[in-house]
């Protein structure tokens, strides 16, 4: 009797798990823009993954942004692997603000720090967009009465603090993110740095911004996370 109950449980649990894994992607595919993105970019996405021996159904991703290079890096790995591999890069097509963190609403700054994707917007004003959970805890400790919000990686080529990569490129990045989320990756990390915080680059920044010791101290904190990933190829 116990074996029979166990078998019934396994039989009925399996399709429930499968439906659950597909639900997020299915929900996104209700939107025309997402269907277009898959039609245009899915084959290329799979080719990029194949080059790194990453399976679409076990994909996890990590996004790293280098502000002074106006560059977004997409990293990926299989769920059962430790180290990420660079899959591809996307150039910003517009830029606002200067190096340094976002401190208040309207300062046109792209944030700097350690964030996560917290929203998928398939009906964005800027075609498709991925929301970043700015302000994070550290941002809220900056003392600003209004740090602002609504920071996205999106299509189009306009920005007042977001990261635009064109409609064409956001289609590809967006479906990479859908696949990872659909595989169960609830936390898609986004690290945003002013520059590649190597020792040489930090020396340059310290000289260039020596009149702003608080900014240097902030970047030294970010450098710990940058260097960890550079050496370990896994998230701290």
154 counts as catalytic: yes
175: tokens are 């479906």
Assess whether 93 carries a catalytic annotation.
no
Distance (Å, rounded) from C-alpha 95 to C-alpha 114?
A: 20
CA-based torsion, 90, 95, 101, 103: positive or negative: negative
Of 93, 157, 162, 191, which is the active-site residue?
A: 162
94, 128, 137 from 166: Cα distances, Å: 9, 10, 30
CA 176 to chain centre: 10
Long-range residue pairs from 15-22, CB within 8 A, at least 24 positions apart, any chain? 21/182, 21/183, 21/184, 22/182
Burial degree of 83 (CB within 10 A; 0-12, 13-18, 19+): exposed
Residue holding tokens 């597909």?
22
Q: What amino acid positions are annotated as catalytic residues?
A: 154, 162
């Amino acid at each position: 009797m116990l074996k029979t109950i166990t078998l019934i449980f396994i039989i009925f649990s399996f399709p429930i798990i499968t439906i659950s894994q597909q639900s997020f992607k299915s929900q996104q595919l209700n939107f025309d823009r997402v269907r277009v993105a898959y039609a245009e970019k899915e084959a290329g996405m799979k080719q990029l993954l194949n080059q790194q021996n990453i399976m679409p159904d076990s994909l996890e991703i990590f996004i790293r942004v280098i502000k002074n290079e106006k560059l977004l890096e997409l990293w990926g790995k299989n769920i059962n692997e430790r180290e990420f591999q660079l899959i591809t890069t996307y150039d910003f097509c517009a830029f606002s603000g200067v190096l340094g963190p976002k401190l208040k609403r309207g300062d046109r700054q792209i944030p700097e720090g350690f964030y996560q994707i917290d929203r998928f917007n398939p009906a964005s004003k800027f075609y498709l967009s991925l929301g970043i959970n700015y302000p994070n805890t550290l941002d809220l400790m900056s003392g600003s009465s209004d740090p602002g919000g609504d920071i996205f990686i999106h299509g189009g080529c306009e920005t007042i603090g977001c990261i635009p990569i064109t409609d064409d490129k956001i289609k590809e990045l967006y479906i990479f993110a859908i696949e990872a989320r659909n595989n169960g990756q609830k936390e898609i990390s986004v690290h945003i740095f002013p520059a590649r915080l190597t020792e040489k680059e930090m020396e340059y920044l310290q000289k260039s911004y020596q009149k702003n010791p608080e900014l240097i101290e902030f970047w030294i904190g970010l450098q710990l996370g940058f260097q960890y990933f550079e050496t370990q190829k896994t998230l701290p």
